[in-house]
C-alpha cells in the first residue's frame, strides 16, 4: 500500500469513526440563529440578516471534512408557530426513521435577550423536543450580560425541561456616542461555555465530530488530540513487539500516518486527500534524523516507491517514544499555526509552513 492509499484509507476510517453529530437550531426570526452557527462552526455557513426572515424552512449544513450536520430552521413566529412546529416535528420524525446516525442529538433554542421572555411557541417546541428525548440548551442570544435577568425567568418557567441556559454574544458590538465616536466595545462571549456544555450532552461516539467541527474551544480539541497521541504511541509500541518477518518500521509508518491524519481532522483543518498525503508523508519523514527514524524513512520511501533501505528492528519503547514525540511536536506546531489562522478569521494553514517547522524542530535527542 502506498502513502496515498494509506491516507485515503485513513480518511474513510475517520469518516466512520467521526460519526456525525446532528444539531438542531431553532428560535424566532432574527434571534441570531444563523449568526450563532457562523460563530461556532468553521466557515461562513449560514446567511444572516435583519428585518425580513432570512432562513426559510430547514436548511441542513454539512460539508466534507466537517463531520457534523447543523439544521438551521425557519424563525418560529408567534402567529404561525404551530405550522413551523409541525414542520419541525415532521422533520424530526423523518430523521428518526433512519438509524441513530440520522437522529437529532442536540437542540439549541435561541431567545434574544432583548425579547425578555420565553413564549408559548418556544415552550411548545421544548415539549416536543423533550418528547423525543432530544437534550435542549436554551441560548440567550445577543446577550449584554453573562448572567441576564432573562436567564432566571426562563429557569423558573422551564428549568426542568432544559439541560442548560447559556447567555451568548456571538458577535462583538460597539456603542457610539452622537458624534460617532466609539464609547464602548464588547467582545463575543459565552460561545466556549455553550460548546463545552453541548459536548457533554452529545452521545460519546459523536463527540469527536462535534469537537472537530467547532472552532471555539481549543481546549476540547487539545484534549482530544492528547488522547490520540497517547493511544497511537502505545499502538506503535505494541506493533514493534509483534513478530513480523520484515522491518518493524513498515508497521509503524501507517500508525504514524494515521495519527497525523487524525490530529489534523480533529482540529478541523480543511485539507483534501492530496494535501493531507503530502503533509503526512513529510511529517512522518521528519523522523529521518534518528537511526530508527532513518529506517522509518527507508520504508516510507519504499511505500512511496522512491527507493528502498534496509529496515532496522525497532524496540517497543523506542517505537512508542518516537511516535509520542512526533505527535507532540506536530500538535505543538499545528496549535500555533492554527491559533494564528483562527485569530485571522480563517481555519486554513499552509502545509509548507508545517513541514518546514517540523524539519527545523525535530531533534535527534527527542528519544
Ligand atoms: N450585536 C449582535 N447582533 C447579533 C448577534 N447575533 C445576531 N445578531 C444580528 O441579528 C440579526 C439577525 O441575525 P440572524 O442570525 O440572521 O438571525 P436568524 O435567527 O437566523 O433569523 P432568521 O433566519 O430570519 O430566522 C443580524 O443582523 C445579526 O447580525 C449578537 O450576538 N450581537
Ligand atoms: Mg437564519
- Closest residue by Cα to atom 1, ligand 1, is 173
Going across the sheet that includes 164-167, the strands are 58-63, 66-73, 21-27, 106-112, 136-141, 164-167
DSSP code of 20? Answer: P
| pLDDT confidence of residue 294 | 53
Ligand 1 binding pocket includes 33 (Cβ within 6 Å): yes
Task: Give ∠ CA 28-95-136 in degrees, rounded to 5.
Answer: 45
User: So where are the chain's domains?
Assistant: 20-213, 217-366
The CATH homologous superfamily to which domain 20-213 belongs is P-loop containing nucleotide triphosphate hydrolases (3.40.50.300)
Ligand 1 binding pocket includes 20 (Cβ within 6 Å): no
Ligand 1 binding pocket includes 84 (Cβ within 6 Å): no
Distances (CA, A) of 177 to 144, 181, 183, 184, 187: 18, 5, 6, 9, 18
Ligand 1 binding pocket includes 54 (Cβ within 6 Å): yes
Is pLDDT above 70 for 179? yes
- pLDDT per residue as tens digits for the range 31-50: 999 899 888 887 666 666 55
Is pLDDT above 60 for 137? yes
| pLDDT confidence of residue 209 | 84
Is pLDDT above 50 for 149? yes
The mean pLDDT of the chain is 82
Could you tell me the distance, in angstroms and rounded to a whole number, from the CA of residue 314 to the centre of ligand 1? 57
Q: What average pLDDT does range 98-120 have in this prediction?
A: 91
- Closest residue by Cα to atom 30, ligand 1, is 142
Contact criterion met (CB below 8 Å) for 169 and 142? yes
Is pLDDT above 90 for 158? yes
| pLDDT confidence of residue 253 | 82
pLDDT greater at residue 352 or residue 17: 352
Contact criterion met (CB below 8 Å) for 321 and 314? no
- pLDDT per residue as tens digits for the range 226-243: 999 999 999 888 877 766
Please, which pLDDT band fits residue 25 given cuts at 50, 70 and 90?
very high
pLDDT greater at residue 303 or residue 285: 285
Which atom in ligand 1 lies closest to the alpha carbon of residue 173? Answer: 1
State pTM to two decimals: 0.82
| pLDDT confidence of residue 141 | 97
The residue whose grid cell reads 497511537 is 232
Is pLDDT above 90 for 6? no
Q: Give the H/E segment covering residue 360.
A: helix 351-361
Ligand 1 binding pocket includes 173 (Cβ within 6 Å): yes
Could you tell me the distance, in angstroms and rounded to a whole number, from the CA of residue 141 to the centre of ligand 1? 9
36, 47, 48, 78, best to mutate for ligand 1 pocket (most atoms within 8 Å of CB): 48
Contact criterion met (CB below 8 Å) for 214 and 40? yes
Paired with 141 in beta bridges are 112
The residue whose grid cell reads 431553532 is 26
Contact criterion met (CB below 8 Å) for 77 and 85? no
Amino acid at each position: 500500500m502506498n502513502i496515498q492509499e494509506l491516507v485515503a484509507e485513513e480518511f474513510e476510517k475517520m469518516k466512520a469513526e467521526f460519526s456525525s453529530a446532528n444539531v438542531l437550531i431553532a428560535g424566532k426570526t432574527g434571534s441570531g440563529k444563523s449568526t450563532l452557527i457562523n460563530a461556532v462552526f468553521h466557515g461562513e455557513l449560514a446567511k444572516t440578516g435583519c428585518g425580513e426572515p432570512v432562513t426559510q424552512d430547514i436548511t441542513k449544513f454539512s460539508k466534507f471534512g466537517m463531520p457534523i450536520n447543523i439544521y438551521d430552521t425557519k424563525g418560529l413566529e408567534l402567529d404561525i408557530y404551530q405550522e413551523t412546529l409541525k414542520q419541525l416535528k415532521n422533520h424530526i420524525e423523518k430523521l428518526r426513521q433512519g438509524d441513530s446516525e440520522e437522529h437529532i442529538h442536540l437542540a439549541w433554542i435561541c431567545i434574544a435577550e432583548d425579547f425578555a421572555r420565553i413564549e408559548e411557541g418556544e415552550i411548545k417546541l421544548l415539549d416536543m423536543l423533550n418528547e423525543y428525548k432530544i437534550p435542549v440548551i436554551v441560548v440567550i442570544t445577543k446577550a449584554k450580560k453573562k448572567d441576564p435577568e432573562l436567564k432566571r425567568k426562563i429557569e423558573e418557567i422551564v428549568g426542568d425541561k432544559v439541560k442548560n441556559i447559556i447567555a451568548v454574544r456571538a458577535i462583538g458590538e460597539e456603542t457610539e456616542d452622537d458624534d460617532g465616536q466609539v464609547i464602548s466595545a464588547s467582545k463575543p462571549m459565552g460561545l466556549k461555555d455553550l460548546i463545552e456544555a453541548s459536548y457533554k450532552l452529545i452521545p460519546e461516539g459523536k463527540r469527536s465530530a462535534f469537537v472537530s467541527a467547532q472552532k471555539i474551544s481549543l481546549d476540547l480539541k487539545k484534549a482530544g488530540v492528547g488522547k490520540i497521541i497517547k493511544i497511537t504511541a502505545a499502538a506503535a509500541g505494541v506493533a514493534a513487539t509483534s513478530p513480523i518477518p520484515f522491518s518493524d518500521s513498515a508497521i509503524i509508518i501507517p500508525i504514524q500516518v494515521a495519527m497525523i491524519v487524525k490530529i489534523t481532522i480533529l482540529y478541523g483543518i480543511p485539507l483534501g486527500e492530496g494535501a493531507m498525503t503530502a503533509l503526512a508523508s513529510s511529517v512522518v519523514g521528519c523522523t529521518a534524523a534518528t537511526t530508527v527514524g532513518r529506517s522509518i524513512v527507508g520504508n516510507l520511501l519504499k511505500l512511496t516507491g522512491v527507493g528502498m533501505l534496509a529496515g532496522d528492528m525497532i524496540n517497543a519503547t523506542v517505537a512508542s517514544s518516537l511516535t509520542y514525540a512526533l505527535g507532540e511536536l506536530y500538535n505543538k506546531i499545528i496549535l500555533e499555526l492554527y491559533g494564528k489562522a483562527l485569530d485571522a478569521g480563517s481555519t486554513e494553514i499552509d502545509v509548507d509552513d508545517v513541514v518546514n517547522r517540523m524539519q527545523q524542530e525535530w531533534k535527534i535527542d527527542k528519544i
